[in-house]
Amino acid sequence: MKIGKIPENVLKRSVLRQFHTKRNEVLLGAGVGEDCAGIVLGEDEAFVVSTDPITGASKNMGELAVIVTVNDLASAGAEPLGIMLTILLPEQSEEKELKVMVQQVEAECEKFHIQVLGGHTEVTDAVTRPIFSVTGIGKAKKDRLVSTAGARPGMDIIATKWVGIEGTVILAREREKELLERYSTTFIDRAKDLDAYICVLSEAAVAARSGVSAMHDVTEGGIFGALWEMAEASGVGLEIDLKKIPIRQETIEICEFFGLNPYELISSGCMLMAASDGNHLVRELEKEGIPAVVIGKATEGNNRILLNEEETRFLEPPKTDELYKVI
């Protein structure tokens, strides 16, 4: 395709015609020449917005673009309504590739009942591979909004499912040929299948009605980065037991293969939470089939400590995600 805005016939054929999911709240949605979306909300509801790029994966980008956005909105206690989608393509892209990516987006939107509200699609020599930038729009009851900054000294810190899920899936898909030199197809397929756990909408819903005080989706920078960000936002210290942080064997082995730290690997699918009674929240999550564990506590002061049996170390501010060492 040629550099510039996607031609109108391509926009209609391979983008707009792929979108079928609709929301009653949407007054004005995606269309040729439309630059904005209109949404009506109730008097007691808050408008919740998120934004995220997808840059670390080339396969299943459309799927990840929607799930990561859903996770961001869910971590604020919001119900996702729709997304604004910007797709930047390199000059060598073909229309059929664009159509497949948009179909991936719509498949996930249908799953979560989210409407594509609009966006922009362009071919540009400023990128060498497809880039997705997604703005998520949701709604929440004003008294049910949850922030990253809600942790208080004495609260339990909880992690759901496992760390490194998203990074494990991306590496299994993108670097499968290399991994097959050591691991079986069955092992790699198990790693790919972890994509079923990347969405955190279910645990966010359980937590929101079970007394959670803070939530943070564990994304770039991994669990170490997310712990630092929650502590920094909340103005608290931390004492975290490294041995209690949940992690899958597939993640451990794939990270070992590439020489990566799994605790600093992109981890969408793991939700970090703070609650006054962490064990109660864990039980409520487990009733819904969501594994979770208390991994430590928030403390007075600013010391953010990782305990590993007899060893003590301090958390550091988030670094570049480990994924970028390989992808």
CATH for 148-325 (3.40.50.300, 3.50.50.60, 3.40.50.10320, 3.90.650.10) = 3.90.650.10
> Are 119 and 30 spatial neighbours (Cβ–Cβ below 8 Å)?
yes
Query: 203-217 pLDDT, tens per residue?
Result: 999 999 998 999 999
Mean local confidence (pLDDT), 285-310 = 96
Q: Is the pLDDT of residue 218 over 90?
A: yes
pTM: 0.87
What are the pLDDT digits (tens) for 114-144? Answer: 999 999 999 999 999 999 999 999 999 888 8
Instruction: State the residue for tokens 């919740």.
Output: 48
Q: Is 115 helix (H, G, I), strand (E, B) or coil?
A: strand
State the first-to-last Cα distance of the chain, in angstroms, to the nearest integer.
Answer: 25
Q: How far apart are CA 199 and CA 195, in angstroms?
A: 8
Given this model, what pLDDT does residue 254 score?
98
Higher pLDDT, 26 or 259: 259
How much is the pLDDT for 30?
Answer: 86
Tally the residues of the chain.
327
Cβ neighbours of residue 189 closer than 8 Å, sequence gap 6 or more? none
pLDDT digits (tens, 9 = 90+) for 139-190: 998 888 899 999 999 999 999 999 999 999 999 999 999 999 999 999 999 9
pLDDT on residue 210: 93
Please tell me the predicted confidence (pLDDT) of residue 58: 72
Check whether 92 has a pLDDT greater than 90: yes
Looking at residue 194, what is its pLDDT? 97
Please report how the helices 61-75 and 201-208 are oriented relative to each other, as an axis angle in degrees rounded to 10: 10
Query: What CATH number labels 4-144?
Result: 3.30.1330.10
Q: How confident is the model at residue 2 (pLDDT cuts 50, 70, 90)?
A: confident
- Residue 90 has φ and ψ, to the nearest 5°, of -70, 160
Hey, is 138 helix, strand or coil?
A: strand
Do domains 4-144 and 148-325 share one topology? The answer is: no
Residue 213: per-residue pLDDT: 96
Sequence ranges of the domains in the chain: 4-144, 148-325
For residue 3, pLDDT over 90 is answered with no
Strands 4-5 and 45-54: unpaired
Q: Residue 62 and residue 50: Cα distance in Å, rounded?
A: 17
Residue 110 has a pLDDT of 97
What's the rounded Cα separation, in Å, for the pair 80 and 117? 12
Question: For residue 176, which phi and psi values (nearest 5 degrees)?
Answer: -60, -40
